[in-house]
A and B are shown apart, each in its own frame.
Chain A
């Protein structure tokens, strides 16, 4: 079965490369968009007690919404294809990044902030030099969760015509052609494990030396 999968892959390199490319671009686009929204948003919300709590609660409820449902619900509003899939995957990536940014900034020892203030740092300087670096490990933990969820979620983009490696899995299941199914399932598993390892490594590298 594995050799059959390999034969298919070798026979259709263009098809595979395209699906792989779409899968990666879907994931990167969604992750980038979600970070651009959730990191600045989370930093801004972190110091507003009630709003921060409300945002965390909303994100936690949003998290229980199944990925397939988010993609399915994008379809009646935005139609099918690449762009609706990116929007849906962005929504899937938002909660973990937002929750971790807020908790990361909030969990910083208030004494540290006081000390920085006492040294004459302005609010913006405290944010740049103290709060963000200290929150980086927690923010990256959120990005890591989001990355894995987005790569997994992008498999489901096939159901709303978004393409990606899920295409091979669904046609493989539909035709009960197991090798074809593996052409999608194995690479996407490796992609997900790779994303997890990449963000894990980034998290360790970007953690300030004093916190390691």
Chain B
């Protein structure tokens, strides 16, 4: 850890870039997933097609995906952000759609019976009830994206992977450890924070 202490500025920059890339990708992916999930929730065929397509995007090896994007967007942060958005769509879209599907039909009926429009049912009944499941998806996606973003350093996007790749190139283990443990710590911290949010939402529901 001596290396990390002596080079804290380099570590801080890498950490900042890492958070920036992951966060941008997650926000974009969350917006797309929310729209896609709401659309697919009550349409079984759309749901199946969405899972098949996002499942394929999820399965493509990260380095291959980054490479395939180079002819289209070149090197850098945009490349990795697109790859990470594509990568996290499956997990989040699946949870948005499942969360809405799991809302008991009689509750939805009751809301309609009270004269709510489809949009009101969605905004006031379905989405609030689906929220714990949606946050659970966000949590898994966040942890995986933080971990996988490290590979992005290879296409000049920066982030904690920079330390790992530099460490490999110079055969310098402390640098690799710093990058690896920082990515790990960031993922665990995000996981704990979102777990707390998930629990709070569930308790809120129970009360």
Hey, which bits of chain A sit against chain B, CB under 8 A?
Answer: 1, 61, 63-70, 72-73, 75-76, 148, 151-152, 155-156, 159-160, 166, 169-170, 172-173, 178, 181-182, 184-186, 188-189, 192-193, 196
Contact = CB atoms under 8 A, between A and B. Distances in A.
A172 to B, nearest CB: 7
Contacts of B143: 63-64
A156 B180 contact: no
The 4 closest A-B pairs by CB, nearest first: A69-B180, A64-B187, A152-B61, A185-B64
Given A65-B184, A69-B183, A173-B154, A159 B64 contact: no
A169 B67 contact: yes
Nearest to A156: B63
12 contacts: A63-B147, A66-B183, A69-B180, A75-B176, A148-B59, A159-B165, A172-B67, A181-B70, A189-B61, A189-B64, A193-B56, A193-B60
Contacts of A166: 63
B150 A66 contact: yes
The number of chain B residues touching the other chain, given as a range, is 35 or more
Interface string B14-53: 0000000000000000000000000000000000000000
Given A69-B150, A76-B173, A192 B60 contact: yes
Contact of B164 (A64, A68, A188): A68
A40 B154 CA distance: 37
A59 to B, nearest CB: 13
B10 interface: no
Residue in B55, B59, B155 with the greatest tally of chain A CB atoms within 10 Å: B59
Contacts of A66: 147-148, 150-151, 161, 164, 180, 183-184
